[in-house]
Amino acid sequence: MASNAREDTQSNNVAFTDNEVEIQSNANPTLETLQPMDNNASNPEGSTPVEGDNKANVKSAYWEYFDRLKVEAKQAQVQKVNEDGFVFDPLKTRKCVAEMIVLHEYPLSCVDHHGMRRAFASMQPTFKMPSRNTVRKDILKMFGDEKLNLTLQLDKNDSIVAITSDM
């Protein structure tokens, strides 16, 4: 045991000072020294601090690596080009699916319909049909973008606009 810890013989519990913590184990309890947690302390090697700069908010090098892999995978998506020069873009197709659902007032569940999936697979076998939640997020993003564009257009207009409705 460390010299600054005292052992309670009846319950096998150990009392620690401010800079030590017990690792819970029934077989062999061990001690581990904690790093100081002030804001000026250095970060563990290979990690980047996140706002707040305490141990709970430090992003490990592994997570940074996985984030970088995700970005590289998106950038490296191979675009399919046929003999006519057509380039298939799955993001553009996903946006078109969302626009179709809004335009024709289809339910979001239509992306789960077997016939819809078969139709898209016959047109482009590499296209992965988005889920309902993905389409919902795309529609809400489109709504936010359109709302922002409308707000900017109304701000540019010098005249007064009155919007009324009947309830």
**Given pLDDT bands bounded at 50, 70 and 90, which one contains residue 18?**
very low
Give the span between the Cα atoms of 106 and 129, in whole angstroms.
16
The residues, any chain, with a CB within 8 Å of residue 143's CB and separated by 6 or more, are none
Highest-scoring range by mean pLDDT, 2-16, 17-31, 38-52, 151-165: 151-165
- In SS3 terms, 54-83 reads as CHHHEECHHHHHHHHHHHHHHHCCCCEECC
Share of the chain above pLDDT 90, in %: 34
Identify whether 27 is part of a domain. yes
> Are 87 and 145 found together in one domain?
yes
Give the span between the Cα atoms of 77 and 69, in whole angstroms.
12
**pLDDT surpasses 60 at 98:** yes
**Given pLDDT bands bounded at 50, 70 and 90, which one contains residue 38?**
very low
Mean pLDDT across 17-22 = 45
Identify whether 130 is part of a domain. yes
Please report the pLDDT score of residue 157 as a whole number. 87
> Domain range spanning residue 142?
82-155
> Are 108 and 146 found together in one domain?
yes
- How many independent structural domains does the chain possess? 3
> Are 69 and 126 found together in one domain?
no
> Are 55 and 99 found together in one domain?
no
> Are 51 and 110 found together in one domain?
no
Taking all residues of the chain, what is their mean pLDDT, rounded to a whole number?
A: 74
Mean pLDDT across 97-119 = 95
Please report the pLDDT score of residue 22 as a whole number. 44
Backbone angles phi, psi at 152, to 5 degrees: -65, -40
Please report the pLDDT score of residue 21 as a whole number. 45
pLDDT tens-place string over residues 49-96: 555 556 666 677 878 887 888 777 766 655 566 677 788 888 999 999
